[in-house]
Structures are given as structure tokens and as C-alpha cells.
């Protein structure tokens, strides 16, 4: 049996990875001499993407059992709406 990661650890790793990748892209563009507007655009997209990852992970359950229960409930509610 594999040890379980605390629920916040996976979320932190995903946010950290997203943030580091966007910072690396901005640094590479700035070092390569890209125009200021391209560097700014990539920075804004990176910040927005990292924020979206954080929001999605905080709204949707991350534990497998909770996620399965969420999807089952979602599908049940959609089926009920279609019937009415």
C-alpha cells in the first residue's frame, strides 16, 4: 500500500510547479530579448493560470472518494434536471 499524501501537499506542489514554469518562461523571454509586451503577456497568462489552478483545486474535491461522490452527485442532478 502506498502512503497517502496530505491533501494540501498535492495542491501546493501543483501551484508551485505552475508558478515556477511561468517564472521560468518570463525569465527566458526577458533573457532572449523579447519585446516588453511579450514578457508582460506571458507573465499575466502565467499568473492567471496559476490562480485558476488554485481556484479549481479549492472548489473541486481532491481525495479520490470525495471526487467520485462529487461526480456521482453532479450526474444525478443533471439527470433530474433533464427529466423536468
Does 72 reside within a domain?
yes
Tell me the pLDDT band of 60, cut-offs 50, 70 and 90.
confident
Does 35 reside within a domain?
yes
Does 4 reside within a domain?
no
Does 2 reside within a domain?
no
Does 45 reside within a domain?
yes
pLDDT in tens, 33-57: 989 999 999 889 988 988 888 888 7
Does 29 reside within a domain?
yes
Question: In the numeric block, which cell numbers belong to residue 56?
Answer: 479549481
Domain count, the chain: 1
Overall size of the chain counted in residues: 84
The reported pTM is 0.56
Q: Which domain holds residue 55?
A: 13-83
* Nearest one of 9, 6, 18 to 51, comparing CA atoms: 18
Amino acid at each position: 500500500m502506498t502512503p497517502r499524501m496530505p491533501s494540501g501537499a498535492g495542491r501546493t506542489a501543483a501551484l508551485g510547479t505552475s508558478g515556477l514554469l511561468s517564472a521560468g518562461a518570463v525569465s527566458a523571454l526577458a533573457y532572449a530579448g523579447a519585446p516588453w509586451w511579450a514578457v508582460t503577456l506571458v507573465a499575466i497568462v502565467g499568473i492567471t493560470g496559476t490562480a485558476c489552478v488554485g481556484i479549481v483545486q479549492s472548489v473541486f474535491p481532491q481525495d479520490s472518494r470525495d471526487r467520485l461522490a462529487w461526480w456521482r452527485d453532479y450526474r444525478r442532478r443533471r439527470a433530474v434536471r433533464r427529466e423536468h
